[in-house]
Amino acid sequence: MRNLFFITITVAALIGLAGTTPVSAKAPERKVLASAKKITVRTNVEVNRHLIKLHDLFTNTGDKAEIEVAYAPEPGKRAVFDARWLYRVARAYQLPWRPLSNRIRTIVTRQSDVIERREVEEILLGALLGKGADPNSEMELSNRTLRLHVPGGALGDVDVQEINYSDRTRRFSAMIASPAGNGTIKLTRVRGRLFTTREVPVLNRRVLAGEVIKNEDLKWIKVRASRLQSNVIMSETDIVGRTPRRGLRAGYPILTSTVQRPILVPKGSLVTVVLRTPQMLLTAQGKALESGAEGDVVKINNSQSDTVIEAEVIAAGRVAVRSSTLLAMN
Domain locations along the chain: 3-111, 114-196, 197-260, 263-329
In whole angstroms, give the CA distance from residue 80 to residue 77: 10
The structure's pTM equals 0.56
CATH number, domain 263-329, options 3.40.80.10, 2.160.10.10, 2.30.30.760, 3.40.640.10:
2.30.30.760
In whole angstroms, give the CA distance from residue 300 to residue 290: 8
| Chain centroid, CA 290 distance in Å | 49
Q: What angle do CA 119, 122, 125 make, to 5 degrees?
A: 150
In order along its 330 residues, the chain shows pLDDT tens digits of 444 443 343 333 333 323 322 323 333 344 444 445 899 999 999 998 889 999 999 999 999 999 999 999 988 899 999 999 999 999 999 999 999 999 999 999 998 888 888 888 888 998 998 888 888 889 999 988 888 888 877 666 788 888 999 989 999 999 988 887 777 888 889 999 999 999 999 999 999 998 999 999 999 999 999 899 999 999 999 999 999 989 999 999 999 999 988 888 999 999 999 988 888 888 889 999 999 888 889 999 987 888 899 999 999 899 999 765 554 555
- Residue 219: closest CA among 252, 195, 246, 245: 252
Just give the CATH number of 197-260: 3.90.1210.10
CB 112 within 8 A of CB 76: yes
In whole angstroms, give the CA distance from residue 180 to residue 171: 28
Exposed, middle or buried: residue 169 (CB in 10 Å: 0-12, 13-18, 19+)?
Answer: exposed
What DSSP character marks residue 325? G
- Residue 316: closest CA among 277, 276, 262, 242: 262
Exposed, middle or buried: residue 287 (CB in 10 Å: 0-12, 13-18, 19+)?
Answer: middle
Q: Is the backbone of residue 313 left (phi > 0), alpha (psi -120 to 50) or beta?
A: beta
Backbone φ and ψ for 93, nearest 5 degrees, come out as -110, 20
